[in-house]
C-alpha cells in the first residue's frame, strides 16, 4: 500500500515538472519573437501591415474614372469681363464682399487654412501651412492681434481699408478634369485658388506675386452663402461664388499642366508667343472634345457625313478653274519677248521655179569656131 502511494507521488511530481518545462519553453519562444524583418513573413515573402493597407486604399484611384488631367489656369480680373464678379464690389456694399475679402477675412479669423505658394508641385499638408503673421509681414498689411489670440489660435483684427483688394488683380486656380464612366460625362473640379497681388512700387513685392493657396473644399461652405451678380442685363443675384466656379463661368489661360518635369507651357514653348498660344488651344480643344472621340457614330450620322462628302466632291468637280495670271512685270515680259524675237530663225528665200520654155537660139553675132573648119 505504501509502495503504491509512493509510486503515484513520484508520477505526479514528474508530470508537474514536464508541464513547468513546457511553460518555460513557450514563454521563451514568446519573449524571443519571430526572427523576421519588419514587413516580411517567415518564408521571406513581403508582408503588408494594416497601415500599408490603409495607405494603399487611400491612394487608389477611382475605378469609375477613365481620364483625369490637372490644369493650372490664370484668371485676369482687368482685361476679362467674365471674371469681373470676382473683383467687384471693391468695398463693402450692403454686406456683400468680393472674393478676396472673404478669403482674407477667413484667414485672419483662423477659420480656413492657407498653404504656401510653392514654385512647383503644391503640397496641401500641415507642413506647408502658411502662417498669417508671415503673410502680414511679407505684404505690409496692417493688422493687430485680436481678442483670444494665441499661438494655436492666431486671430487678427484688420480694418476693411487695410485689406489690399484693389491690388489683387488676378487669381490662379488648379482644375481637375475627370471623365466619369458612370455618367459618361466630363466634369471640371476646381481644387485650389491663389490670389495674385500686383504692385508696381519699389517695395520687396513687385510685379505679379501669388500670395497663398486655399483649398476650394475648405472655402465651399462660405462661398455658398455669398450671392453675386453675373450679368449686367439681370440685376438679380441668382448665383453664388460656389456656382461661379462649379459652372465654370470664369475665363482664363492655361499656363501649366501637371507633368513629370514640372515645367510650365512658357518653358516648353521657349518663350515663343505663337507656340504658347498653339499649345494652349490644343490642350483646351482636347479637354472640350475628349468625350466626342469615345462614341461610335450612328447610322444617321454616318449617312449625313457620306452625303456631305459627296456634295463636297461634286462641288469641287464642277467648279471652273480660274485662269492663272502671270505675276511677271511688264519689263520682264518685254525682255522675254525681245529674247524670243532674237532667237527666231530667219526664213529661207523661196527658190524660183525652173522655166519650161524652149531655150533661145544663139545670137547671130556670135563668132563661129574655126577649129574644125575645112581648109
pLDDT higher than threshold 60 for residue 338: no
Q: What confidence tier does 252 reach under pLDDT thresholds 50, 70, 90?
A: very high
Q: What confidence tier does 60 reach under pLDDT thresholds 50, 70, 90?
A: low
207-226 pLDDT tens trace: 899 999 999 999 999 999 99
Instruction: Give the CA radius of gyration of the chain.
Output: 48
Closest CA to 213 of 162, 157, 171: 171
> SS3 of 178, please?
strand
Distance CA 234, CA 373 (A): 143
* Cβ count near 137 (within 10 Å): 11
**pLDDT for the residue 219:** 97
Closest CA to 88 of 96, 327, 80: 96
Mean pLDDT, rounded, of the chain: 80
Q: What confidence tier does 31 reach under pLDDT thresholds 50, 70, 90?
A: very low
The proportion of the chain whose per-residue pLDDT surpasses 70, expressed as a percent, equals 67
Strands (E) in 64-219, as ranges, are 65-76, 144-145, 156-157, 168-180, 185-199, 207-210, 214-215
**pLDDT for the residue 77:** 96
272-317 pLDDT tens trace: 999 999 999 999 999 998 887 777 788 898 899 999 999 999 888 7
> What residue segments make up the domains of the chain, in order of their start?
73-253
Does 367 or 104 have the greater pLDDT score? 104
Quote the cell numbers at residue 158. Answer: 484688420
- DSSP assignments along 285-353, one per residue: HHHHTTGGGGSPP-HHHHHHHHHHHHHHHHHHHHSPPPPPPP---HHHHHHHHHHHHHHSPPPPPPPPP
Over range 27-50, report the average pLDDT: 48
Amino acid at each position: 500500500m505504501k509502495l503504491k502511494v509512493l509510486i503515484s507521488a513520484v508520477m505526479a511530481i514528474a508530470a508537474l515538472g514536464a508541464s513547468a518545462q513546457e511553460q518555460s519553453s513557450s514563454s521563451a519562444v514568446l519573449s524571443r519573437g519571430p526572427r523576421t524583418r519588419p514587413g516580411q513573413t517567415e518564408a521571406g515573402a513581403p508582408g503588408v501591415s494594416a497601415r500599408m493597407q490603409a495607405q494603399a486604399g487611400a491612394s487608389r484611384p477611382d475605378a469609375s474614372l477613365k481620364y483625369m488631367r490637372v490644369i493650372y489656369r490664370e484668371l485676369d480680373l482687368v482685361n476679362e469681363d467674365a471674371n469681373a464678379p470676382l473683383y467687384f464690389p471693391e468695398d463693402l456694399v450692403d454686406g456683400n464682399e468680393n472674393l478676396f475679402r472673404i478669403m482674407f477675412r477667413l484667414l485672419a479669423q483662423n477659420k480656413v487654412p492657407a498653404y504656401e505658394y510653392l514654385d512647383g508641385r503644391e503640397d496641401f499638408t500641415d507642413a506647408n501651412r502658411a502662417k498669417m503673421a508671415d503673410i502680414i509681414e511679407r505684404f505690409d498689411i496692417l493688422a493687430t492681434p485680436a481678442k483670444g489670440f494665441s499661438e494655436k489660435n492666431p486671430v487678427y483684427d484688420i480694418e476693411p481699408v487695410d485689406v489690399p483688394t484693389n491690388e489683387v488683380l488676378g487669381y490662379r486656380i488648379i482644375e481637375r478634369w475627370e471623365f466619369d464612366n458612370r455618367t459618361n460625362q466630363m466634369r471640371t473640379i476646381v481644387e485650389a485658388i491663389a490670389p495674385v497681388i500686383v504692385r508696381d512700387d519699389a517695395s520687396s513685392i513687385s510685379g505679379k506675386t501669388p500670395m497663398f493657396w486655399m483649398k476650394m473644399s475648405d472655402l465651399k461652405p462660405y462661398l455658398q452663402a455669398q450671392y453675386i451678380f453675373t450679368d449686367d442685363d439681370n440685376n438679380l443675384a441668382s448665383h453664388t461664388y460656389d456656382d461661379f466656379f462649379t459652372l465654370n463661368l470664369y475665363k482664363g489661360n492655361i499656363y501649366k499642366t501637371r507633368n513629370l518635369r514640372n515645367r510650365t507651357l512658357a518653358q516648353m514653348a521657349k518663350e515663343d508667343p505663337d507656340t504658347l498660344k498653339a499649345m494652349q488651344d490644343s490642350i483646351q480643344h482636347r479637354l472640350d472634345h475628349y468625350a466626342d472621340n469615345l462614341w461610335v457614330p450612328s447610322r444617321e450620322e454616318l449617312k449625313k457625313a457620306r452625303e456631305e462628302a459627296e456634295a463636297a466632291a461634286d462641288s469641287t468637280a464642277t467648279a471652273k478653274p480660274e485662269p492663272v495670271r502671270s505675276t511677271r512685270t511688264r519689263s520682264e515680259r518685254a525682255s522675254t519677248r525681245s529674247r524670243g524675237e532674237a532667237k527666231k530663225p530667219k526664213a529661207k528665200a523661196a527658190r524660183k521655179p525652173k522655166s519650161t520654155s524652149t531655150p533661145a537660139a544663139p545670137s547671130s553675132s556670135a563668132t563661129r569656131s574655126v577649129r574644125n573648119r575645112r581648109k
